[in-house]
Amino acid sequence: MVPLLISMLLGLTLLSTVSLASSPPSILASIKPLQLIVTALDKPLLQHGIDLEVSTLLPPGSTPHDYVLKPSDIVRVLQADLVIWMGPVVEPYLVSVIARAEPDKVIDISQLKGLKRLAYRELLENEEEHDDDKHDEHKHDHDEMLQFDPHIWWSVDNAEIIATQVLTALDVRNNKAEKQAIDQYVIVKQSMRAIRALLTSRKTQALKQQPSFILFHDGLQYLESDLGVVSAARVALDDDHRPGIKTLLALKHKVEVNQVVCVVAETNTNVSIIHKIEAATPLRQIVIDSLGWGRASYYDMLQQAYDEILACQS
């Protein structure tokens, strides 16, 4: 009876530790960009005989704002070896089921230490606020919900932090604490080497070309920070907010003065109001999906976005 009890207690203790020696651990990412970041670890890990199974909870085209969990989704969350999500503010629909999962098997991205966190921006840089009541109300809503822009996956530095946390959570080690730290560092650096080279190349281009663009929805601030570029303005704070006449006139003035070339939209964005802020030359409309749908890898997602932004020059 005593050996059986000891065995049961050891089993409970090891529930939070994923064994990479047996079947590949299943990792469930709430959104596509997180899956792509973790998948970047595949190649360097395979060199060590380690395989991962990484999937996304949200189906293609869905967003964390409007998704309703199905019973099969709940099963996937509870059965995964590791669940990665954006936290209760960004993904409130997951709160109740995450509470049922074992804490050691969950990574809340919003709580990671060292994460680069950028504050929410105004619609117009260096401008007085327009449509004050609506704008202040929306800004207040953001402040009450989250103190920073949640699109953190567009930062390569943040991607490294996420990848490192995943390796730590999966307990990738050689039974020696010092060796574990070295291995994790090397694996993450290998996974990000090509991505770092891509960013360096495109950042040099951006410095020379100085692309001119506005965003329909402010979802690329971290990408702009990495590239060293700044959008001239944002048309809407979020999908539910549409600018009033004063803001539209200010945006039109901004487009004219800055000789803006492009407006960056999301896949399903209704850009019907764009013509109201265009100058003599129509704005070129480009699409960058902030959730990375249709992208094969993290590298691919960044490359497509970088190249679209850099093409915004006259």
State pLDDT tens for residues 209-242: 999 999 998 999 999 999 999 999 998 766 556 6
Report the alpha-carbon distance of residue 284 to residue 270 in Å, rounded: 15
Domains 16-109+149-192 and 210-310 are alike in CATH topology: yes
- Per-residue pLDDT, averaged over 261-278, amounts to 87
Question: Is the model's pLDDT at 170 over the cut of 90?
Answer: no
pLDDT band, very low/low/confident/very high, at 245 (cuts 50, 70, 90) = confident
Question: Taking a C-beta distance cutoff of 8 angstroms, is the pair 20, 282 a contact?
Answer: no
Helix axes 177-209, 298-310, angle to 10 degrees: 20
When pLDDT is averaged across residues 300-309 and rounded to a whole number, the result is: 98
Q: Is the predicted pLDDT of residue 142 greater than 50, yes or no?
A: no
pTM, 2 dp = 0.85
* Segment 155-172 mean pLDDT: 92
Picking from 247, 250, 242, the residue whose alpha carbon sits closest to that of residue 270 is 242
How far from chain centre, in Å, is Cα 159?
8
Q: Is the pLDDT of residue 149 over 50?
A: yes
| % of the chain with per-residue pLDDT over 90 | 61
According to the model, what pLDDT value does residue 145 have? 61
- Domain coordinates in residue numbering, the chain: 16-109+149-192, 210-310
Query: Residue 131: pLDDT above 60?
Result: no
Look at strands 82-85 and 26-29 and give their pairing: parallel
Compute the 3-state secondary structure of the chain and give helix, strand, coil in percent, each to the nearest 5.
50, 10, 40
CATH 3.40.50.300 fits 210-310, yes or no: no
The CATH superfamily of 16-109+149-192 is: Nitrogenase molybdenum iron protein domain (3.40.50.1980)
C-alpha closest to that of 163 among 132, 186, 137: 186
28-66 per-position pLDDT tens digit: 999 999 999 999 999 999 988 889 999 999 998 888 877
Per-residue pLDDT at 21: 45
